[in-house]
């Protein structure tokens, strides 16, 4: 048998493999792979936990959003009711104001009418007195005027006493 390069390569390979087994390299590799698998498993568990937590937060935020939307709808409904009541109140106040103004205007018209009637009556009385004076002055002679004057003076004296 000749010792050629192939034989030395085979011997070197066997020594290398024996050395690897002696130094427990396969065990270290298995341990390293087991640790890596354990780390990956932990990371997967952590990711699951974080995902569940995120889903819980999402559900909570969606619930809060729905509550906020319901509250906003309620606020809008209250605002609409208040606006309707304010509109109705303003309409009533406007109607009352118009009614008061109409009543005041009617009262002023009646008062002006009464004053006009009084002025017409006074003018008629003055006209009647003037006409009566004119008729009496034309028809009465001096003695009748003297008698009427004395009679009027007597009435005034009796009323003053």
Cβ atoms of 141 and 133 within 8 Å: the answer is no
Residues 39, 33: Cα–Cα separation, whole Å? 10
Residues 133, 152: Cα–Cα separation, whole Å? 14
| pLDDT of amino acid 45 | 96
| pLDDT of amino acid 138 | 73
Give the containing element (helix H, strand E) for 110: helix 25-139
Quick check: 161 pLDDT over 70?
no
| pLDDT of amino acid 53 | 95
Quick check: 156 pLDDT over 90?
no
Ramachandran category for residue 11: left, alpha or beta (phi over 0 → left; psi -120 to 50 → alpha): alpha
Residues 31, 34: Cα–Cα separation, whole Å? 5
| pLDDT of amino acid 40 | 96
Q: What is the pLDDT of residues 109-153, one digit of tens each?
A: 999 898 888 888 888 888 888 887 777 777 767 777 778 788 888
Q: How far is CA 52 from CA 60, 61, 65, 139, in A?
A: 12, 14, 20, 128
Scored b (16 or more CB within 10 A) or e, 3-41 reads eeeeeeeeeeeeeeeeeeeeeeeeeeeeeeeeeeeeeee
Quick check: 1 pLDDT over 70?
no
Q: What is the pLDDT of residues 69-113, one digit of tens each?
A: 999 999 999 999 999 999 999 999 999 999 999 999 999 999 989
Place of tokens 């003076």: 153
Q: What is the pLDDT of residues 13-67, one digit of tens each?
A: 999 999 988 888 888 889 999 999 999 999 999 999 999 999 999 999 999 999 9
| pLDDT of amino acid 20 | 86
């Amino acid at each position: 048998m000749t010792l050629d390069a192939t034989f030395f390569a085979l011997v070197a390979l066997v020594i290398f493999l024996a050395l690897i087994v002696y130094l427990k390299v396969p065990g270290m590799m298995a341990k390293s792979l087991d640790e890596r698998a354990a780390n990956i498993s932990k990371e997967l568990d952590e990711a699951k936990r974080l995902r569940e937590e995120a889903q819980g937060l999402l559900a909570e935020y969606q619930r809060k959003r729905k509550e906020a939307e319901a509250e906003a709808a309620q606020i809008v409904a209250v605002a609409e009711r208040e606006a309707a009541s304010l509109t109705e109140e303003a309409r009533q106040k406007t109607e009352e104001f118009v009614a008061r103004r109409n009543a005041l205007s009617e009262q002023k018209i009646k008062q002006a009418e009464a004053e006009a009637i009084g002025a017409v009556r006074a003018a008629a009385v003055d006209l009647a007195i003037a006409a009566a004076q004119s008729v009496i002055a034309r028809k009465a002679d001096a003695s009748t005027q003297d008698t009427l004057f004395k009679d009027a003076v007597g009435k005034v004296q009796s009323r003053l006493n």
